[in-house]
Amino acid sequence: MKVKVLYFGVTADITGKEQELIAEAKDLNSLRAILTSLYPGLKNANFRFAVNLKLINDINSLTLNKGDEVALLPPFAGG
């Protein structure tokens, strides 16, 4: 199963990518483990996950499905 991962701000700087496909991620915890293994700089980065355009507050409670779009969003300010 593959999910599309989108990177913004500092997460794009750390990965050197704007997006990529990641396989073998069953949930956000496993995706986070995969991403921090690939990009150790993400371990200390401040970001939130959004799945299919919805911000996720509890990464322990979400299972990923084939074709899901996961964004790594750094803190941002509105105005």
The structural domains of the chain, with segments of one domain joined by +, span 2-73
Instruction: Looking at 1-79, list the stretches that DSSP marks H as alpha helix, in order from N- to C-terminal side.
Output: 10-15, 28-38
As a whole number, mean pLDDT of residues 7-13 equals: 96
**What class is the 2-73 domain?**
alpha beta
- Give residue 17's Cα distance to chain centre: 12
- Angstrom distances, CA of residue 50 to CA of 46, 72: 14, 7
pLDDT tens column, 24-43: 999 999 999 999 999 999 99
pTM: 0.92
| Residue 31, SS3 per DSSP | helix
CA-wise closest residue to 7 among 47, 57, 43, 38: 47
Tell me which of 40 and 75 has the higher pLDDT. 40
> Would strands 48-51 and 69-73 be described as parallel, antiparallel, or unpaired?
antiparallel
55, pLDDT greater than 90: yes
What does the pLDDT read at residue 47? 95
